[in-house]
Amino acid sequence: MVKLNVKKYTTIIAVIALLIFLHYAKILSPLELYLNQGLRPIYKIFYSVSSNIKQTYQSQTDKTDLASELNQARETINRLMAENVELRFLEKENQVLREQLNFLSKNNRRYVMANIISRGDLENGAKNSQAVVIDKGLKDGLSPGLAVVSASSLATSSRGVIIGKISNVKDDISEIRLVTDEKCKLAAAILGDNKTIGVTSGELGLTIKMDFIPQTENIKAGDLAATSGLEQNIPRGLLIGRVVKVDKENNQVWQSAIIEPQIGLDSLSVVSVLLP
């Protein structure tokens, strides 16, 4: 069996050696030329098939690379958008802080700056869009009745904007009733042709109302309303808002004014509590 295999391999090697000799001796040239011409169509088919396979593979590779690049581009865009949003928030917060510090330093006010951490009542945790909780309390010298302000570009440089009063205080946190809350009452004055003094309170969580204004008082839309200074721990001249409507009936003794807050209370994040 072993001898048979040796003989077989010897024969194959001999045939290969003979073909190599005949090729270099040019004896097989006519046959090789004939076979080359005959097999050329087959070569073309194989070449075309291999070329198509290569193009398909290259196309799929390009698509994969493009999809990867698109995913990376999307990730970069999303990251840049997130960074841009964060920068805009920081810019807005810095602007608010600069405005508050400008107002407080010009008026030599003692104050405690605080962050709004939640909305709702402090005692029962009930949701209330007209009450907010800040991260300062008794330990920081706060007590009920103190004015809470936010400086605003809509106000004059010497006047702060009151946004509410401290209503409840614990060691590290406090509750603020916003000026649009019916429980937040302020001694106020409408700065029109005459200085009209009264008390404001929130109405429906949207606006502020001043009632019991004598009919003889001349007030009109556009007049400013500010704190009158007749209330303990509430300084005079803090801007409350602007009169948008006057309810006046000829057969009534009193008239009332609807006041719109000067700033958006929903967007507050940093406030200052004025100390006595």
User: Domain total for the chain?
Assistant: 1
Q: What element of type H or E holds 261?
A: strand 254-261
What dihedral angle (degrees, nearest 10) is formed by the CA atoms of 256, 257, 258, 262?
Answer: -150
User: Is residue 197, in this structure, part of any structural domain at all?
Assistant: yes
Quote the percentage of the chain above a pLDDT of 90.
27
DSSP 39-66: HHHHHHHHHHHHHHHHHHHHHHHHHHHH
pLDDT, position 132: 92
**198 within domain boundaries:** yes
In a domain, 247, yes or no: yes
For residue 193, being part of any structural domain is answered with yes
Q: In which domain, by residue range, is 256 found?
A: 186-267
Residue 145: band (very low, low, confident or very high) from pLDDT cuts 50, 70, 90: very high
**More confident: 210 or 97:** 210
160 occurs within a structural domain:
no
Is 218 inside any structural domain?
yes
What's the rounded Cα separation, in Å, for the pair 152 and 272? 12
Look at the block and give the residue holding tokens 């807005």: 92
Block residue for tokens 């090789």: 32
Side-chain half-sphere exposure of 97, counting CA atoms within 13 A: 10
Residues 229-260 have pLDDT tens digits of: 899 889 888 889 899 999 888 778 889 999 99
Residue range 77-87: mean pLDDT, rounded: 64
| Mean pLDDT value of segment 64-88 | 70
**Quick check: is 190 in a domain?**
yes
Which segments of the chain are extended strands (E)? 111-119, 131-134, 147-150, 161-169, 174-178, 186-191, 195-203, 207-214, 224-227, 239-248, 254-261, 270-274
Q: Which of 5-19, 31-45, 116-130, 155-169 has the lowest mean pLDDT?
A: 31-45
pLDDT in tens, 32-59: 666 666 666 765 676 666 667 767 767 6
The domain that contains 234 carries what CATH number?
2.40.10.350
Tell whether 258 is covered by a domain.
Answer: yes
Percent of the chain exceeding pLDDT 70 equals 64
